[in-house]
Amino acid sequence: MHENEHGESEVEEMKGRCCLLVVLLAIVCPARQDQTSGIEGFVTTDLTTVIPNAKIGVDSVTKGFHRETLTDASGYYLVAELSPGAYSIWAEVPGLGCIVYPHVAVYPGQIVRQDFHFARAKRYPETCEPGQKKSK
């Protein structure tokens, strides 16, 4: 075996370089963390009055995925654990109607904010039934 200028053999030098490479990769490329995402927001009337128990629906534009939830007492909703992608999201409020945002982009690890504001003077479709969803 040959030795380098520091008296190390080629094998020892190679081991040292491999260890250094492993350490650098661990720093530069951390282990993949959970990359799930979500959509959150508030449902209000005229930007001031919160609407509890509004039905929120989320549909994947490309994957055939569908999930529903309700807003809490403060009008807030969160649809978590979504895969990154494009979603159609809608809010339905009895007596006020339905608002749909047909294309909301969600990126890895991101929580997207999408609020719904029902103006009392405006008319919305009554329900968010499939095929009747109208864009805001």
Bridge-partner residues for 58, per DSSP? 67, 89
Domain of residue 21 covers 1-31
Count of domains for the chain: 2
21-77, pLDDT tens digit by residue? 444 334 434 434 456 799 999 999 977 899 999 999 999 988 888 999 999 999 999
What CATH number does the domain containing 56 carry? 2.60.40.1120
Do 11 and 47 sit in the same domain of this protein?
A: no
67-126, pLDDT tens digit by residue? 999 999 999 999 999 999 999 999 999 988 999 999 999 999 999 999 999 987 677 787
Distances from the Cα of 111 to the Cα of 10, 49, 77, 79, 125, angstroms:
51, 23, 12, 9, 28
Do 55 and 108 sit in the same domain of this protein?
A: yes
Phi-psi map region of 80: left, alpha, beta (phi>0 left; psi -120 to 50 alpha): beta
Do 47 and 67 sit in the same domain of this protein?
A: yes
Pairing of strands 116-118, 37-45: parallel
Distances from the Cα of 28 to the Cα of 24, 25, 69, 108, angstroms:
6, 5, 39, 18
